[in-house]
Amino acid sequence: MQWETVIGLEVHVQLATQSKIFSGASTAFGAEPNTQACAIDLAMPGTLPVPNEQAFRDAIMFGLAIDADIARTSMFERKNYFYPDLPKAYQTTQLEKPIVGRGHVDIELADGSKKSIRIHHAHLEEDAGKSLHEGSFEIHGHGMTGIDLNRAGTPLIEIVSEPDMRNAEEAVAFARKLHSIVTSLGICDGNMSQGSMRFDVNISVRPKGSDTFGTRTETKNLNSFKFMEDAIALEVERQIDLIEDGGKVIQETRLYNGDTKQARAMRSKEEANDYRYFPCPDLLPIVFEDDYIEQIRQSLPELPDARRDRFIEQYGLSRYDANSLSGDAAVAQFFQTAAAGSDAKLAANWIMGELSARLNAEDRVIQDSPVSADQLAGMIARLKDGTISSKMAKQVFDAMWNGEGDADGIIEARGLKQVSDSGAIEALVDDVIANSPQQVDNYRNADDAKRPKMLGYFVGQIMKASKGQANPQQVNDVLLEKLNALL
């Protein structure tokens, strides 16, 4: 039987606010446990939440970016469940009146086809703390669970898609597009390894052509695109095998382990909590005036699609290159800085090629690149004006990567300047021709078609004589001219 996969995503996006959604404590990542949790985050008796306006602005920006309805009146509910890292024993979240209503996110697939993924809604909520389980935390030699409440109260938007995706590629493209949108808006730092974006994937399968949904499972808390792709493949295969073997998929929550590449069931629907949602009486409904929303709309930064189109228009990039460079806001910024001081196409090639490979190899993001956009621009300028060859440029890049400074200084220090002086090059060419009578004869006697292949020998000799510093293009030109004169 032919099977069709149906995928919907719930995405938790940590907002890049300075302070928490209902308290003044800092949201910075990586502090000592429980040093960024105030009395409100600890749910001390008598403490009360005060909403952080920036979280509303961020959520509204997201809503406007996906062409969604913005609720004119929004409210918070309490979602009740007991867990040690949930201090109030309820999560303040939104159910009946989420701040962002229906919208859509448009994705582009590898084959160039496009698809619009509908967003059901997006709501604001607070994150929980973290439980540090046995093994990672010990007291008096006993395994214990430690609670770190630094993350408790960090603002999130949870984005809920419709089940519009039909394979892992679409799901990953959607996830990447969301990443691109929220980082372009500046509402999230996009740092997946620190949990700034976390994906819950709802997956079901059905016979191709069927118009009813199969029973779905939810694989929770995936924090990389690669894990998401792998987890979807694994779960789809598991469900199809299960059904083809006469079994039934049961509705459950699953956990995927990226290290072992395995997933396990966490809890079934029967074990699910009754969360007893009700409106939070400590927080009044929030009303947004049209002016307020309009003012946010006016201040929206450039979004990924517009930026891609502009890159094609302004820099003459291919659609593929423009897509690659416009998706991540930081990459786009890097590209623009590099291109402004040099050459757009060269900058594009270097960023997508060498720089991206080096960053990937060291698992770094472009914000942490040892080579700055200005430095790259400086190197490309020397490449473009012929001071250095492509081969030299790789050496310069390596040196910059290792912190040896700007291109000009490195070129100077290493004596990397390529010889573009035509007199010097002519002399080199003449020497090699004079010293290679046999090869010159062969060249002369060869067919027109074979001659170009015979140039390599001469070029090699000339470059060797110049210690690699002759401008290869110039060498080619002069050599051809002089050899042809001998015909």
Nearer to other proteins, 270 or 447 (CB): 270
Measured from the CB of residue 145, what is the shortest distance to other proteins in angstroms?
A: 8
Q: Indicate whether 198 belongs to the interface with other proteins (CB under 8 A).
A: no
Q: Indicate whether 157 belongs to the interface with other proteins (CB under 8 A).
A: no
Report the chain's C-alpha Rg in angstroms: 30
Nearer to other proteins, 1 or 139 (CB): 139
Q: Residue type for 374, please?
A: D
Per-residue DSSP letter, 177? H
Q: Indicate whether 84 belongs to the interface with other proteins (CB under 8 A).
A: yes
Taking each helix axis from N to C end, the angle separating 437-445 and 451-465, rounded to the nearest 10 degrees, works out to 160
Give residues 36-75 in contact with other proteins (rule: CB under 8 A): 39, 42-51
Nearer to other proteins, 79 or 216 (CB): 79
Measured from the CB of residue 249, what is the shortest distance to other proteins in angstroms?
A: 23
Contacts of 48 (CB under 8 A, 6+ apart): 40, 282
Q: Are 150 and 31 in contact (CB under 8 A)?
A: yes
Q: Among 7-15, 273-281, 353-361, 413-421, which window interacts with other proteins (CB under 8 A)?
A: 273-281
Nearer to other proteins, 274 or 289 (CB): 274
Nearer to other proteins, 75 or 322 (CB): 75
In the structure encoding, which two tokens stand for residue 319, read together? 């659609």
Measured from the CB of residue 275, what is the shortest distance to other proteins in angstroms?
A: 8
Measured from the CB of residue 33, what is the shortest distance to other proteins in angstroms?
A: 13
Question: Cα-flanking dihedrals φ and ψ of residue 254, to 5°?
Answer: -125, 155
Q: Which among 249, 196, 244, 239 has a CA at the least distance from the CA of 221?
A: 196
Q: Among 83-91, 365-373, 409-417, 464-472, which window interacts with other proteins (CB under 8 A)?
A: 83-91
Q: Among 120-128, 246-254, 270-278, 464-472, which window interacts with other proteins (CB under 8 A)?
A: 270-278
For the window 86-105, what string marks contact with other proteins as x by the rule CB under 8 A? -xxxx---------------
Question: Cα-flanking dihedrals φ and ψ of residue 286, to 5°?
Answer: -105, 125
In the structure encoding, which two tokens stand for residue 455, read together? 């140039």
Q: CA-to-CA distance for 400 and 313, rounded, in angstroms?
A: 31
Q: Indicate whether 282 belongs to the interface with other proteins (CB under 8 A).
A: yes
Measured from the CB of residue 136, what is the shortest distance to other proteins in angstroms?
A: 17
Nearer to other proteins, 282 or 430 (CB): 282
Q: Among 77-85, 213-221, 223-231, 421-429, which window interacts with other proteins (CB under 8 A)?
A: 77-85
Alpha helix locations (H) across 284-421? 290-298, 304-315, 319-326, 329-340, 344-350, 356-361, 373-384, 390-401, 407-414
Candidate residues 31, 265, 284, 306; the one interacting with other proteins per rule CB under 8 A = 284
Candidate residues 78, 198, 220, 254; the one interacting with other proteins per rule CB under 8 A = 78
How many residues in total does the chain contain?
A: 487
Contacts of 389 (CB under 8 A, 6+ apart): 383, 418, 468, 471, 472
* Parallel, antiparallel or unpaired: strands 90-93 and 252-257: unpaired
3-state SS of 248-299 is CCCCEEEEEECCCCEEEEEEEHHHCCCCCCEECCCCCCEECCHHHHHHHHHC
Measured from the CB of residue 49, what is the shortest distance to other proteins in angstroms?
A: 7
Q: Indicate whether 285 belongs to the interface with other proteins (CB under 8 A).
A: no
Give residues 136-155 in contact with other proteins (rule: CB under 8 A): 145, 147
Nearer to other proteins, 81 or 213 (CB): 81
* Parallel, antiparallel or unpaired: strands 146-148 and 142-143: unpaired
Q: Indicate whether 124 belongs to the interface with other proteins (CB under 8 A).
A: no
Site of interaction with other proteins (CB under 8 A): 39, 42-51, 78, 80, 82, 84, 87-90, 145, 147, 274, 276-278, 281-284
